[in-house]
């Protein structure tokens, strides 16, 4: 065997000439839904991982990093403690779980077009959702997020967009455009905040991240990029917080720690004041790439992950 710890390996290429690999212990479940190929496998190093169309979404071992990074910078950047939240995507239920850590939240809506993925995660990833789907504040809708936003008259203090990057032209592209972010902004309360996962921030692979950053700046007065390393991806990952008022970059270590203490029930494993500084202090080459980017993504000219 190639390795005493396993003869099956999962390969994920970040570019056609570079990849990351994991020894596989077993496949927990595998299915093709109406929208995508889904697999939950158990890896030797990271426990269970969710894979959509061949790309790791999250792992049992380090999902706390991803999901805390996705949620808290926005939930802490609303003017007042957030009372309502909308999760777009986020099938594992872990994004929802982080949102529900705020006792101020009275209502948490999750809109994921792929109800089958949500069901598979409910059943096979209890380590991730930890009961979030059963919380009485939760409302799960299996429908297209754009359609939902267009028709709803609800407003949210926090909206997070936890979607897979589009690999080909199709409806998913329409969730990464100026028009879509305008809709998101309009459904936010006056001092609300949004966050999103925004692709890798590896040197030389910044086109996706910076285009989304540039696009959001067309729509929001405050756009703050941040990033952190996601171990099982083998690459740092970019996120963006966009708000109507509060700039999370202006929150110092003590303020973040104080906000967490005030707003969040129970301790966080990843996010705190110093992690906040780590994530929002972007290395120079990322800032330069953001500044150099001119592309605004629109419905007419959508973005496709190469």
Residues of the shown chain interacting with a second copy in the complex, contacts defined by CB under 8 A: 1-13, 15-24, 26-27, 30, 41, 43-45, 51, 54, 61-62, 65, 202-204, 228-229, 231, 234-236, 253, 268-272, 274-278, 281-285, 287
Beta carbon of residue 155, minimum distance to a second copy (angstroms, whole number): 33
Q: How far is the CB of 5 from a second copy (least distance, A)?
A: 4
Whichever of 7 and 171 has its CB closer to a second copy, that residue is 7
CB of 106 to a second copy, least distance (A): 28
CB 52 within 8 A of CB 117: yes
Residue with smaller CB distance to a second copy, 76 or 183: 76
Q: Which residues contact 301 (CB under 8 A, 6 or more apart)?
A: none
Q: How far is the CB of 287 from a second copy (least distance, A)?
A: 7
- C-alpha span between 285 and 42 (Å, rounded): 35
Closer to a second copy by Cβ: residue 273 or 296 = 273
The CA distance from 23 to 13, in Å, is 15
Q: Which lies closer to a second copy via its Cβ, residue 37 or residue 301? A: 37
Burial of residue 3 (number of CB atoms within 10 Å: 0-12, 13-18, 19+): exposed
- How far is Cα 231 from Cα 66, in angstroms, rounded to an integer? 9
**Per-residue three-class SS string for 203-224:** CCCCHHHHHHHHHHHCCCCEEE
**From 62, 162, 252, 257, the catalytic residue:** 162
- Is 162 an active-site residue? yes
Strands 235-243 and 188-200: antiparallel
Residues forming the active site? 162
């Amino acid at each position: 065997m190639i390795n005493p710890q396993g003869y099956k390996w999962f390969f994920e290429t970040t570019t056609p000439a570079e990849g990351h690999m994991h020894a596989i212990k077993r496949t927990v479940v595998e299915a093709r839904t109406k929208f995508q190929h889904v697999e939950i496998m158990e890896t030797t190093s990271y426990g269970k991982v969710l894979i959509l169309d061949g790309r790791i979404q999250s792992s049992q071992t380090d999902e706390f990093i991803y999901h805390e990074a996705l949620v808290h910078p926005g939930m802490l950047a609303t003017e007042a403690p957030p009372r309502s939240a909308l999760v777009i995507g986020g099938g594992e239920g872990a994004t929802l779980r982080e949102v529900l850590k705020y006792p101020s939240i009275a209502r948490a809506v999750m809109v994921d077009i792929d109800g089958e993925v949500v069901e598979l995660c409910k059943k096979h990833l209890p380590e991730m959702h930890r009961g979030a789907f059963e919380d009485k504040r939760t409302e799960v809708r299996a429908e297209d997020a754009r359609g939902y936003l267009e028709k709803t008259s609800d407003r949210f203090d926090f909206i997070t967009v936890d979607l897979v990057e589009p690999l080909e032209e199709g409806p998913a592209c329409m969730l990464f455009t100026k028009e879509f972010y305008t809709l998101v902004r309009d459904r936010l309360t006056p001092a609300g905040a949004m966050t999103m996962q925004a692709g890798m921030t590896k040197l030389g692979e910044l086109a996706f991240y910076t285009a989304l950053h540039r696009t959001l700046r067309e729509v929001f007065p405050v756009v703050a990029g941040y990033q952190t390393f996601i171990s099982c991806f083998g690459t740092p990952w970019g996120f963006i917080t966009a708000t109507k008022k509060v700039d999370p970059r202006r929150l110092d270590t003590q303020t973040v720690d104080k906000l967490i203490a005030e707003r969040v029930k129970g301790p966080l494993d990843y996010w705190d004041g110093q992690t906040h500084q780590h994530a929002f202090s972007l290395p120079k080459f990322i800032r330069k790439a953001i500044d150099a980017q001119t592309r605004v993504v629109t419905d007419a000219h959508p973005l496709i992950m190469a």
